[in-house]
Amino acid sequence: MLTVRLICVGKLKEAYWRDACAEYEKRLRPFCGFSIIELPECRLPDNPSDAQIRAALKTEGDSILSAAGSSALFALCIEGRELSSGQLSDQINTLAVNGTSTVSFVIGSSFGLCEAVKQRAGFRLSISPMTFPHQLARVMLCEQIYRAFQIIRHGKYHK
């Protein structure tokens, strides 16, 4: 069974976001080993300098790469490629069929991801050209992962 990890910088503060992610985690159990890994976000001043942002991204990036290990990596980033739900399911299915055991999706902090994480990623993914709060992006990604498995299994969820 494929293991899918969602590696996120920061925690969900509101219960309704946590509840939504927990619902998709429950729905994904029959399809894959799914887990959400929350990593600490570096604290920055209100108006951080570019050097402070780069240092924080490097620290967060080191934690992300450690958590990702040798898994196939999808990095969510603004310059990523947009995929349809069907295309995402194809990407996941291809990895599984080719023997990949673990796939990790990464959501960075509000300042994004360091270049090392983007370079390590086999795929750079964009949810949308619009900007969403990180909490909502996490829920949307959980839903799309669930939808991808429904497509792979020819479920009724995806129409």
158 assigned to some structural domain = no
Q: Which distant-in-sequence residues (6+ apart) come within 8 Å of 121 by Cβ? A: 73, 74, 75, 106
- Residue 132 has a pLDDT of 87
pLDDT digits 0-9 by tens, 39-90: 999 999 999 999 999 999 999 999 999 999 999 999 999 999 999 999 999 9
94 assigned to some structural domain = yes
**Cα–Cα distance, 11 to 107 (Å, whole number):** 11
pLDDT at 99 over 70: yes
- Residue 159 has a pLDDT of 66
Tokens of 85: 């739900």
* Single pTM value for the model: 0.94
Say if strands 3-9 and 33-39 run parallel, antiparallel, or are unpaired. Answer: parallel
Domain span holding position 105: 3-152
Q: What percent of the chain has pLDDT over 70?
A: 99
**Cα–Cα distance, 106 to 64 (Å, whole number):** 8
27 assigned to some structural domain = yes
Question: Looking at residue 59, which CATH number applies to its domain?
Answer: 3.40.1280.10
- Residue 156 has a pLDDT of 87
pLDDT digits 0-9 by tens, 103-150: 999 999 989 999 999 999 999 999 999 988 889 999 999 999 999 999
Which amino acid would we find at residue 9?
A: V
32 assigned to some structural domain = yes
157 assigned to some structural domain = no
Span 29-36, mean pLDDT? Answer: 96
134 assigned to some structural domain = yes
60 assigned to some structural domain = yes
159 assigned to some structural domain = no
